[in-house]
Chain A
Amino acid sequence: MRGGRGRYGSGLPVLRRGSMARVLTAPAVRPGLNSTLLAWGALTFLGAVSLPWARPGRELFTFSPEATGAALARTSPLMGAILLTALLVAAAGLVPWATASRGRAAIVLGALGTVLVAVRLFGTGQPFSWGVAAAALGFLAVLGTGLALAGVLRTDAFIAGSILWVAVFVAIFILYPLWTVLEASVVVRGRFTFDVVRETLRSPAFFLLNNPATPRNETAVALAAGGIVTAVGLLLQAVQRRPARGWLWALPAGVGGFVLTALYLGFGALRNSVLLAIVVGVIATALGFLFALLGERSRLRTRRLLGPLSILPIITPPFVLGLAMIYMFGRRGFVTYQLLGISTNAFFGPLGVAVAQILAYAPIAYLVLQGVVQSMDAALEEAAETLGASRWHVLRTVIWPLARPGVANAFLLVAIESLADFGNPIIVGGGKPFLATEVFFAIIGRFNPSEAAVYGVVLLAMTLSIFLVQRYWLGRRSYVTVTGKPSGAKARPLPPALDYAVSAFFLGWMVLIVALYGSVFVGSVTKLWGFDYTFTLEHLRSLSPTGWKVFWTSTKLSAYAAIPSTLLGFLIGYLVTRMEFPGRSALEFSSMLSFAVPGTVMGIGYILAFNQGALLLTGTSAILIMAFVFRNMPVAIRAGVAAIHQIDRSLEEASTMLRANSLTTLRRIVMPLVRSALLSGLVFAFVRAITAVSQVIFLISPQHSLATTQILTYIEYGSQGRGAALASLLTVFMIVVIAALYAVNRRLGAETRREMAL
């Protein structure tokens, strides 16, 4: 309980029997005006009239008096119409109309205003300024209010307005950039053509099967392999006497065999990326499953280390592992050169990337599979065992079928991450082409946005199809959900031998991770790794001024981005879980889309979409913030949905019935109940933004450079020590931030528990 003395004085008034009368006097006031419309009309008008509608350069925070609505209205009838519409809105709020007619008026005025603003904005093509934002958001709010008042959307003005705002933001910052990528791949210098697509897809850098330099014919080999697999499949089916269904399995298996062989024999970005994704996906998922078993079923203390492990990939700037790999296994690597005495480049290329990715993504698989193993009902296993099944049999017939969708889910998630990964391939890829890096090199090295777009589309097509499979096919098939009810049956511990084996393996894993991270920390205070291991503070000192500046910029912009991305994410989570409105699933889908869009693709999308014209944003810090916001929003949406599902829906209904509007309900009921989730969301959005690289690498400008991209620059241009120093700094900072979050949340948690359960 809060405050010893109580907030309401010493006690409640003592009342006698007459109290009933006072309880029952009902006042009902019906004002003849609508303050929401009045306020929005006035705000829209004031914003439009006083703020500038265009800006002379890139800089967002400029004020050009000649571009305010008031100034423009003198010459532009369109602007006059916009201002008049805003005034009419205010008037519609004032006149004593019936609710429905007022709503219809607001719909008309809101829609009209929105259209006029759009016409004005795209008609002039001048870079927008704050007046546009104010007017557009204002008219959308009016439209939303109208839809609510007229009963078109069965909800109140706040929710209706939120839906419209969110929809517009999602359209501008997620759908539109993706569209421009698609467009750029087939529209070159204003002309529709498939030339670039054809050229790119045919180029050996993309994919090459028949290498003229080798004597064998790779296509033939691959076809043969496919044929053999098909034949073997059919044979097996025949032996098992199920020839009728034989083709059903044998054919896809054959195709799979052909594709895998072709990938294995081939060359190019497609081959490297896909093969990498498959290998990393399989290994990381297997490891994740092992760790999940360890975490949920082990009797040993080792499992406590799993928590920190699962946080690592989130707090790690993407280059840290890559850099560590160079330090440990590179040409002058500590292990390879210092300990084993070999100087090899073997780790540069797909092998190195695969190891780095497995280290980074096994924790992701672990997190997914942890839920699966956790909610796997121990009672089922017990039931199977009482039926006389051996442990192996139980694993094969009960555990595995139940876990299969979760395992597939983990595999697909890791595959998406691997395909989209930019940091590791560029650092330890050894110059080999990968899809995500080719996007980068096409635009930065070859100045060919169309080619970059083609690579982007290919990458997008792959991640998106995986996303769709994962969402719609697996979504329906998973038997065990994260929210599944535990049955009360105690989880069965692992057999001791397995327990020790897995624990030992995991310990080895942790040692490797610690060594890798440690090497970066040590590297930041080592003169020249691989040659001269004397201690120095030179790298840390040399971070001044550039290193510190970018560190500060990263922190600042990430903090700015974290707030809207969390709030927006939770709002969308709330809208899609609790509200019914037309286009709900479309909104949910498109806002989750950036989950599946590789950062580099989003990056070129932003460049192509916001580089000129009315929506000019490149070169500003705003575009970085927007990239962060919409990149990290899906995480917040998921967190929000999960948190809101924990709340009994009748709490919100009770609030509504006590006359609260949805804004009040959100503020006073929902927010307090999800505050610790909200705080976590905030911190994770911050951390993810600060460690992001692929989506912002095209968007940075000399004035707005970020820590991650600066680390890349340092490493690429030979000052690895400085890169290590900045990376260490960032890692330590992230660890501190996360630790603080846990401490606060534990206190919050304790307080909440005290409040709610005694």
Chain B
Amino acid sequence: MRTPAVPVRLGGVTKRFGAVLAVDDVTLEIPAGLLVTLLGPSGCGKTTTLRMVAGLEHPTNGRVFIGDEDVTPLPASNRSVTMVFQSYALFPHLTVFENVAYGLRIAKVPERALREQVGAVLELVGLPQVGERYPAQLSGGQQQRVALARALVMKPKVLLFDEPLSNLDAKLRKRVRAEIRDLQQRLGITTIYVTHDQAEALALSDVIVVMNLGRVEQVGSPFDLYRKPATRFVADFIGEANLLPGRYAEGMVTVGPYTFAFRQDGVHAGPVTVVARPETVQVATAGQGLPGTVRSAFFMGTTIDYLIETPIGEVSASAPPRVTGMLPVGSDVRLQFAEAGLYLLTEDGR
């Protein structure tokens, strides 16, 4: 059985802190039951947006809807929303059990039902044995899960995460992130997740909202964002990308002296920015292609990363190691672009 999941909508939401415009006219639909990530560089307004959904911050302009209800005037305590904080915010003077039971006690849930629910949720997050301990007696990963349990036990309509993994080491981060994903899919709660780590966002999300300078740059699935970034910012921020100046005309793309066939619907003839992921740049020593010289080469294990100087600027390429080994620095090479990894941005792509 699942709680009927509800969508979250932001309508023209703006937040100012004095002179700082933290969130600038954001309109957003977060579909019911999905995990949506707010992704962007530090200070772009992710946390502020999340906190406005939580009710911890109130928009200067615009409205917030949870389901059909306009919750803009409601305080955080009346929103059926819970949050997992970056610092976990576990109450240090209460045991794990009491931490998780905190909200239920406030809701005056009878003792028996309360124990049952707390037990169930602790089991759900895989920590059935730690109820009597204090938060300081848990590892970082365990604290994280207690924080999650405390948020889940309230049966929120919407679950919020603000960079919940930033205090964990790299290995644990991967594991916990998979667990969060798994749990969210099983429970089907509408979830908003803030991170500035694009790898985390790609691995975790149904939908990613890329933010920059308080505005939404692009909304889409991880795959779409990677393959079809709407702006230079998105192309640059998600994954690595070569952004090359070029021209497009009737199914032909020209970068520098090199022209090749490539068709993209909806692109008019004229100047374009060619987005080429490094792993789709093919490095050859002869033949057709953009001419260049190897400036540096690093052996990375699964790939060799080259930095190649061309007439239109530096291009990075990740090539699979060849039997013959690495190309020496200074080699003259020809670059070609695999059609599957190419994307054209027209000039309005900022």
- The reply to whether B93 and A659 form a contact with Cβ atoms under 8 Å apart is no
B120 part of interface (Cβ distance < 8 Å): yes
- The reply to whether A25 and B97 form a contact with Cβ atoms under 8 Å apart is no
Chain B 66-105 near chain A by CB (<8 Å), digits 1 or 0: 0000000101111011110111011111010100001100
- The reply to whether A648 and B150 form a contact with Cβ atoms under 8 Å apart is no
Q: Which residues of A contact B134 (CB under 8 A)?
A: 1, 755-756
Q: Which residues of B contact A657 (CB under 8 A)?
A: 54-56, 76-77, 81-83, 151
Q: Which residues of B contact A100 (CB under 8 A)?
A: 73
Alpha-carbon separation in the docked complex, A19 to B75 (Å):
30
- The reply to whether A23 and B155 form a contact with Cβ atoms under 8 Å apart is yes
- The reply to whether A20 and B186 form a contact with Cβ atoms under 8 Å apart is yes
- The reply to whether B102 and A8 form a contact with Cβ atoms under 8 Å apart is no
A22 part of interface (Cβ distance < 8 Å): yes
B312 part of interface (Cβ distance < 8 Å): no
**Contact segment of A10-18, A411-419, A490-498, A549-557:** A10-18
- Kindly provide the distance from the CB of B206 to the nearest chain A CB, expressed in whole angstroms: 19
Alpha-carbon separation in the docked complex, A655 to B56 (Å):
11
Cross-interface CB contact of A12 among B54, B103, B107, B131, cutoff 8 Å: B131
**Contact segment of B122-130, B211-219, B220-228, B303-311:** B122-130
Q: Which residues of B contact A387 (CB under 8 A)?
A: none
- Kindly provide the distance from the CB of B109 to the nearest chain A CB, expressed in whole angstroms: 9
Of all chain A residues, the one with the shortest Cβ separation from B189 is A24
Cross-interface CB contact of A8 among B58, B85, B131, cutoff 8 Å: B131
- The reply to whether A673 and B93 form a contact with Cβ atoms under 8 Å apart is yes
- The reply to whether B117 and A22 form a contact with Cβ atoms under 8 Å apart is yes
Residues of B146-162 contacting chain A, CB below 8 A: 150-155, 157
Q: Which residues of A contact B265 (CB under 8 A)?
A: none
Chain A 634-660 near chain B by CB (<8 Å), digits 1 or 0: 000000000000001011011111111
Alpha-carbon separation in the docked complex, A648 to B91 (Å):
10
- The reply to whether B1 and A24 form a contact with Cβ atoms under 8 Å apart is yes
Q: Kindly name the residue among A12, A13, A26 whose own CB sees the greatest number of chain B CB atoms within 10 A.
A: A12
A501 part of interface (Cβ distance < 8 Å): no
- The reply to whether A151 and B73 form a contact with Cβ atoms under 8 Å apart is yes
Cross-interface CB contact of B106 among A24, A25, A660, cutoff 8 Å: A660
Alpha-carbon separation in the docked complex, A660 to B77 (Å):
6
Alpha-carbon separation in the docked complex, A650 to B90 (Å):
9
Cross-interface CB contact of B77 among A6, A9, A659, cutoff 8 Å: A659
Interface residues on A, range: 35 or more
- The reply to whether B153 and A654 form a contact with Cβ atoms under 8 Å apart is no
Alpha-carbon separation in the docked complex, A23 to B150 (Å):
11
Q: Which residues of A contact B348 (CB under 8 A)?
A: none
Interface residues on B, range: 35 or more
Of all chain A residues, the one with the shortest Cβ separation from B82 is A657
- Kindly provide the distance from the CB of A629 to the nearest chain B CB, expressed in whole angstroms: 29
- The reply to whether B85 and A650 form a contact with Cβ atoms under 8 Å apart is yes
Q: Which residues of B contact A8 (CB under 8 A)?
A: 97, 115, 131-132
Cross-interface CB contact of A756 among B1, B93, B124, B131, cutoff 8 Å: B93
Q: Which residues of A contact B333 (CB under 8 A)?
A: none
Q: Which residues of B contact A21 (CB under 8 A)?
A: 1
- Kindly provide the distance from the CB of A758 to the nearest chain B CB, expressed in whole angstroms: 6
Cross-interface CB contact of B87 among A19, A650, A668, cutoff 8 Å: A650
B119 part of interface (Cβ distance < 8 Å): yes
A588 part of interface (Cβ distance < 8 Å): no
A62 part of interface (Cβ distance < 8 Å): no
- Kindly provide the distance from the CB of B213 to the nearest chain A CB, expressed in whole angstroms: 25
- The verdict on A19 contacting B120 (CB below 8 Å), with A6-B132, A658-B154, A659-B106 known, is yes
A757 part of interface (Cβ distance < 8 Å): yes
Q: Which residues of B contact A23 (CB under 8 A)?
A: 117, 120-121, 124, 152-153, 155, 187
- Kindly provide the distance from the CB of A403 to the nearest chain B CB, expressed in whole angstroms: 32
- Kindly provide the distance from the CB of A104 to the nearest chain B CB, expressed in whole angstroms: 13
Alpha-carbon separation in the docked complex, A668 to B55 (Å):
21
Chain A 84-114 near chain B by CB (<8 Å), digits 1 or 0: 0000000000000000100000000000000
A156 part of interface (Cβ distance < 8 Å): yes
- The reply to whether B150 and A658 form a contact with Cβ atoms under 8 Å apart is yes
- The reply to whether A1 and B132 form a contact with Cβ atoms under 8 Å apart is yes
B136 part of interface (Cβ distance < 8 Å): yes
A431 part of interface (Cβ distance < 8 Å): no
- The reply to whether A656 and B56 form a contact with Cβ atoms under 8 Å apart is yes
Residues of B31-71 contacting chain A, CB below 8 A: 54-56, 58
Of all chain B residues, the one with the shortest Cβ separation from A151 is B73
Q: Kindly name the residue among B2, B91, B133, B150 whose own CB sees the greatest number of chain A CB atoms within 10 A.
A: B91
Chain A 486-530 near chain B by CB (<8 Å), digits 1 or 0: 000000000000000000000000000000000000000000000
Q: Which residues of A contact B76 (CB under 8 A)?
A: 653, 656-657
- The reply to whether A19 and B123 form a contact with Cβ atoms under 8 Å apart is yes
B288 part of interface (Cβ distance < 8 Å): no
- Kindly provide the distance from the CB of B101 to the nearest chain A CB, expressed in whole angstroms: 9
B3 part of interface (Cβ distance < 8 Å): yes
Alpha-carbon separation in the docked complex, A26 to B104 (Å):
12
- Kindly provide the distance from the CB of A745 to the nearest chain B CB, expressed in whole angstroms: 16
Residues of A30-71 contacting chain B, CB below 8 A: none
Q: Which residues of B contact A756 (CB under 8 A)?
A: 92-93, 134, 136
Q: List 13 A–B pairs whose Cβ atoms lie within 8 Å, in order of A's numbering.
A: A1-B95, A1-B134, A8-B131, A13-B115, A13-B120, A19-B119, A25-B1, A650-B89, A654-B150, A659-B106, A668-B102, A755-B136, A756-B134
Instruction: Rank and list the top 7 A-B pairs by shortest CB-CB distance, nearest first.
Output: A658-B103, A19-B120, A654-B89, A650-B89, A12-B119, A26-B155, A13-B119
B interface, CB within 8 angstroms of A: 1-3, 54-56, 58, 73, 75-78, 80-83, 85-87, 89-93, 95, 97, 102-103, 106-107, 115-124, 128, 131-134, 136-137, 150-155, 157, 186-187
Q: A651-B91, A673-B92, A758-B137 are in contact. List 14 more A-B contacts (CB 8 A).
A: A1-B133, A20-B186, A24-B187, A25-B155, A156-B75, A654-B89, A656-B75, A656-B76, A659-B78, A659-B103, A659-B106, A660-B103, A672-B93, A757-B136
